[in-house]
Protein backbone atom coordinates (compact mmCIF):
# COMPACT_ATOMS: atom_id res chain seq x y z
CA UNK A 1 0.00 0.00 0.00
CA UNK A 2 1.35 3.42 -0.98
CA UNK A 3 1.91 5.82 1.88
CA UNK A 4 1.57 9.57 1.69
CA UNK A 5 4.76 11.56 1.64
CA UNK A 6 4.92 14.86 3.54
CA UNK A 7 4.87 16.65 0.19
CA UNK A 8 1.68 14.85 -0.80
CA UNK A 9 0.04 15.61 2.53
CA UNK A 10 1.01 19.26 2.24
CA UNK A 11 -0.24 19.41 -1.33
CA UNK A 12 -3.54 17.83 -0.34
CA UNK A 13 -3.87 20.31 2.52
CA UNK A 14 -3.20 23.24 0.23
CA UNK A 15 -5.90 22.03 -2.14
CA UNK A 16 -8.36 21.71 0.73
CA UNK A 17 -7.62 25.26 1.83
CA UNK A 18 -8.04 26.53 -1.73
CA UNK A 19 -11.38 24.74 -2.01
CA UNK A 20 -12.49 26.19 1.33
CA UNK A 21 -11.70 29.73 0.15
CA UNK A 22 -13.40 29.07 -3.18
CA UNK A 23 -16.45 27.60 -1.48
CA UNK A 24 -16.79 30.56 0.87
CA UNK A 25 -16.31 33.05 -1.93
CA UNK A 26 -18.74 31.28 -4.25
CA UNK A 27 -21.52 31.26 -1.67
CA UNK A 28 -21.02 34.92 -0.82
CA UNK A 29 -20.68 36.11 -4.42
CA UNK A 30 -23.88 34.39 -5.46
CA UNK A 31 -25.90 35.44 -2.42
CA UNK A 32 -24.73 39.03 -2.12
CA UNK A 33 -23.16 40.03 -5.44
CA UNK A 34 -19.52 40.11 -6.46
CA UNK A 35 -18.76 43.76 -5.80
CA UNK A 36 -20.60 43.75 -2.47
CA UNK A 37 -18.30 41.06 -1.09
CA UNK A 38 -14.80 42.12 -0.07
CA UNK A 39 -11.77 39.87 0.08
CA UNK A 40 -11.76 40.41 3.84
CA UNK A 41 -15.30 39.02 4.08
CA UNK A 42 -14.28 35.90 2.17
CA UNK A 43 -11.17 35.54 4.34
CA UNK A 44 -13.30 35.68 7.48
CA UNK A 45 -15.87 33.23 6.11
CA UNK A 46 -13.16 30.77 5.03
CA UNK A 47 -11.29 31.10 8.31
CA UNK A 48 -7.91 31.74 6.71
CA UNK A 49 -5.28 34.44 6.98
CA UNK A 50 -4.77 37.16 4.38
CA UNK A 51 -1.42 35.62 3.50
CA UNK A 52 -3.08 32.27 2.86
CA UNK A 53 -5.86 33.83 0.83
CA UNK A 54 -3.50 35.77 -1.43
CA UNK A 55 -1.20 32.78 -1.82
CA UNK A 56 -4.07 30.92 -3.49
CA UNK A 57 -5.77 33.89 -5.17
CA UNK A 58 -3.47 36.85 -5.86
CA UNK A 59 -6.48 39.12 -6.39
CA UNK A 60 -10.18 39.00 -5.63
CA UNK A 61 -10.80 38.94 -9.37
CA UNK A 62 -8.86 35.66 -9.56
CA UNK A 63 -11.25 34.19 -7.01
CA UNK A 64 -14.29 35.48 -8.89
CA UNK A 65 -13.03 33.95 -12.13
CA UNK A 66 -12.41 30.64 -10.35
CA UNK A 67 -15.96 30.79 -8.96
CA UNK A 68 -17.42 31.33 -12.43
CA UNK A 69 -15.22 28.69 -14.04
CA UNK A 70 -16.31 26.17 -11.41
CA UNK A 71 -19.95 26.94 -12.11
CA UNK A 72 -19.33 26.69 -15.84
CA UNK A 73 -17.74 23.26 -15.49
CA UNK A 74 -20.71 21.97 -13.49
CA UNK A 75 -23.30 23.51 -15.78
CA UNK A 76 -21.65 22.20 -18.93
CA UNK A 77 -21.51 18.68 -17.51
CA UNK A 78 -25.21 18.85 -16.62
CA UNK A 79 -26.20 20.13 -20.06
CA UNK A 80 -24.17 17.45 -21.82
CA UNK A 81 -25.75 14.84 -19.55
CA UNK A 82 -29.24 16.06 -20.49
CA UNK A 83 -28.41 15.95 -24.20
CA UNK A 84 -26.89 12.47 -23.91
CA UNK A 85 -30.16 11.24 -22.39
CA UNK A 86 -32.02 12.40 -25.53
CA UNK A 87 -29.66 11.56 -28.41
CA UNK A 88 -30.69 13.37 -31.56
CA UNK A 89 -33.96 14.46 -29.93
CA UNK A 90 -33.99 18.25 -29.76
CA UNK A 91 -37.53 18.45 -28.40
CA UNK A 92 -36.76 15.99 -25.61
CA UNK A 93 -33.49 17.75 -24.80
CA UNK A 94 -35.13 21.17 -24.60
CA UNK A 95 -38.04 19.87 -22.51
CA UNK A 96 -35.58 18.28 -20.09
CA UNK A 97 -33.51 21.46 -20.01
CA UNK A 98 -36.60 23.54 -19.25
CA UNK A 99 -37.48 21.14 -16.43
CA UNK A 100 -33.97 21.30 -15.00
CA UNK A 101 -33.91 25.10 -15.12
CA UNK A 102 -37.34 25.24 -13.52
CA UNK A 103 -36.11 23.02 -10.70
CA UNK A 104 -33.10 25.28 -10.15
CA UNK A 105 -35.33 28.36 -10.12
CA UNK A 106 -37.50 26.85 -7.40
CA UNK A 107 -34.49 26.49 -5.10
CA UNK A 108 -34.79 28.43 -1.85
CA UNK A 109 -31.52 30.30 -2.37
CA UNK A 110 -32.03 30.99 -6.08
CA UNK A 111 -31.30 34.55 -7.15
CA UNK A 112 -30.94 34.32 -10.89
CA UNK A 113 -28.18 33.28 -13.25
CA UNK A 114 -24.75 33.74 -11.68
CA UNK A 115 -23.25 34.63 -15.05
CA UNK A 116 -25.85 37.26 -15.91
CA UNK A 117 -25.50 38.68 -12.40
CA UNK A 118 -21.70 38.86 -12.59
CA UNK A 119 -21.76 40.24 -16.12
CA UNK A 120 -24.05 43.06 -15.02
CA UNK A 121 -21.50 44.11 -12.41
CA UNK A 122 -18.59 44.41 -14.83
CA UNK A 123 -19.15 46.67 -17.82
CA UNK A 124 -15.66 46.39 -19.35
CA UNK A 125 -15.66 43.49 -21.85
CA UNK A 126 -11.88 43.14 -21.36
CA UNK A 127 -12.20 42.54 -17.61
CA UNK A 128 -11.30 38.96 -16.62
CA UNK A 129 -14.68 38.44 -14.95
CA UNK A 130 -16.56 39.65 -18.01
CA UNK A 131 -14.40 37.43 -20.22
CA UNK A 132 -15.24 34.41 -18.06
CA UNK A 133 -18.93 35.25 -18.38
CA UNK A 134 -18.63 35.68 -22.15
CA UNK A 135 -16.75 32.40 -22.56
CA UNK A 136 -19.43 30.40 -20.79
CA UNK A 137 -22.28 32.13 -22.59
CA UNK A 138 -20.57 31.45 -25.92
CA UNK A 139 -20.28 27.77 -24.96
CA UNK A 140 -23.93 27.67 -23.88
CA UNK A 141 -25.07 29.28 -27.14
CA UNK A 142 -23.00 26.78 -29.15
CA UNK A 143 -24.60 23.98 -27.16
CA UNK A 144 -28.07 25.29 -27.98
CA UNK A 145 -27.10 25.62 -31.64
CA UNK A 146 -26.08 21.95 -31.65
CA UNK A 147 -29.43 21.01 -30.12
CA UNK A 148 -31.26 23.16 -32.70
CA UNK A 149 -29.26 21.41 -35.42
CA UNK A 150 -30.43 18.07 -34.00
CA UNK A 151 -33.96 19.40 -34.45
CA UNK A 152 -33.43 20.31 -38.08
CA UNK A 153 -33.29 24.08 -37.59
CA UNK A 154 -32.78 26.02 -40.82
CA UNK A 155 -30.50 28.50 -38.99
CA UNK A 156 -29.12 26.87 -35.82
CA UNK A 157 -27.20 30.00 -34.78
CA UNK A 158 -30.31 32.19 -34.94
CA UNK A 159 -32.37 29.57 -33.15
CA UNK A 160 -29.71 29.31 -30.44
CA UNK A 161 -29.71 33.08 -29.92
CA UNK A 162 -33.48 33.01 -29.42
CA UNK A 163 -33.32 29.98 -27.13
CA UNK A 164 -30.65 31.72 -25.06
CA UNK A 165 -32.82 34.82 -24.70
CA UNK A 166 -35.67 32.66 -23.46
CA UNK A 167 -33.36 30.90 -21.02
CA UNK A 168 -32.11 34.25 -19.67
CA UNK A 169 -35.66 35.54 -19.28
CA UNK A 170 -36.68 32.39 -17.48
CA UNK A 171 -33.86 32.87 -14.97
CA UNK A 172 -35.02 36.43 -14.29
CA UNK A 173 -38.62 35.21 -13.93
CA UNK A 174 -37.51 32.54 -11.48
CA UNK A 175 -35.76 35.15 -9.39
CA UNK A 176 -38.27 38.01 -9.31
CA UNK A 177 -41.60 36.41 -10.30
CA UNK A 178 -43.23 33.01 -9.88
CA UNK A 179 -40.62 30.27 -10.19
CA UNK A 180 -43.31 27.60 -10.55
CA UNK A 181 -44.14 28.78 -14.08
CA UNK A 182 -40.56 28.67 -15.36
CA UNK A 183 -40.47 25.05 -16.55
CA UNK A 184 -43.79 24.88 -18.44
CA UNK A 185 -43.51 28.32 -20.03
CA UNK A 186 -39.88 27.82 -20.97
CA UNK A 187 -40.65 24.43 -22.50
CA UNK A 188 -43.42 26.00 -24.57
CA UNK A 189 -41.14 28.84 -25.67
CA UNK A 190 -38.34 26.45 -26.60
CA UNK A 191 -40.77 24.35 -28.66
CA UNK A 192 -42.08 27.45 -30.45
CA UNK A 193 -38.59 28.61 -31.38
CA UNK A 194 -37.66 25.18 -32.66
CA UNK A 195 -40.85 24.93 -34.70
CA UNK A 196 -40.28 28.39 -36.19
CA UNK A 197 -36.88 27.27 -37.48
CA UNK A 198 -37.91 23.98 -39.00
CA UNK A 199 -36.60 23.46 -42.53
Q: Are residues 93 and 169 in the same domain?
A: yes
Domain boundary among 38, 58, 78: 58
Number of domains the chain is built from: 2
* pLDDT in the model for residue 12: 57
pLDDT digits (tens, 9 = 90+) for 131-173: 999 999 999 999 999 999 999 999 999 999 999 999 999 999 9
Domain boundary among 58, 82, 98: 58
Q: Are residues 29 and 15 in the same domain?
A: yes
* pLDDT in the model for residue 137: 98
How much is the pTM? 0.90
Using the 8-state DSSP alphabet, how is residue 102 labeled? H
Q: Are residues 97 and 42 in the same domain?
A: no
Q: Is the pLDDT of residue 8 over 50?
A: no
Amino acid sequence: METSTPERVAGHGRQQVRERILGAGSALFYAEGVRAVSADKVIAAAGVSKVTFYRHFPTKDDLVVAYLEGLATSERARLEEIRSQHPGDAVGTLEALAGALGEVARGEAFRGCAFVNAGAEFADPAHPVRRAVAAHRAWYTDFLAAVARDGGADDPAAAAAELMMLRDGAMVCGDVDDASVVAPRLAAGFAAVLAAHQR
